[in-house]
Amino acid sequence: MQHTNSFSKILHAASDRCGEPITAAVLAVRGPATGGVGPNRMFGRSNLAKELKILNLIALTATHVRLFTLGGRTGLKPKDEIGAWPLGAVQIQITDADRSSYYASTMSTIDYQVHVVRLLADGVDLAVDVMADTESNDVVESLQAFLWAVHAAGAARPAP
């Protein structure tokens, strides 16, 4: 799969951070289900959802599903690897959802579609959004490659 130079740079930097090649990856944003002050946050327990940044990278390697936060000046530099799960120990469920954003400055609402990618592993139940309604070939191609790689690795499970 051909990527633009920026997406290739993200993949190479993430590969360098985890020490193994990334076979497929997709950019994901923090979804509405990951926000808020829940019991874990109030009592000081670690919560993977609160470690997410606005933009994140879910990556598949030959052995693991890895989750990186992105940041830096451009917002596209892998900053921290906040999770890694062996392929056999993680399930990935993908469902479609509609989202909307209200912009107070223009008093308008934008409706859009996302794929909700849910990672399930021992002690982890995390949902992030991947844009579904996009003109970017990189996003579409990376999501397709990611879905095929997840399916081939046996980590895909039907959504409940």
pTM (predicted TM-score):
0.77
Cβ atoms 22, 9 nearer than 8 A: no
Helices (H) and strands (E) in the chain, counts: 4, 7
pLDDT tens, 78-111?
999 998 988 888 888 888 888 888 888 998 998 8
> In whole angstroms, how far apart are CA 72 and each of 35, 54, 64, 79, 97?
22, 12, 25, 7, 29
Secondary element (H or E) of residue 127? strand 124-131
Q: Which of 34, 88, 95 is nearest to 60 (CA)?
A: 88
pLDDT tens-digit profile of 10-53? 899 999 999 999 988 888 888 776 643 333 444 444 577 788 88
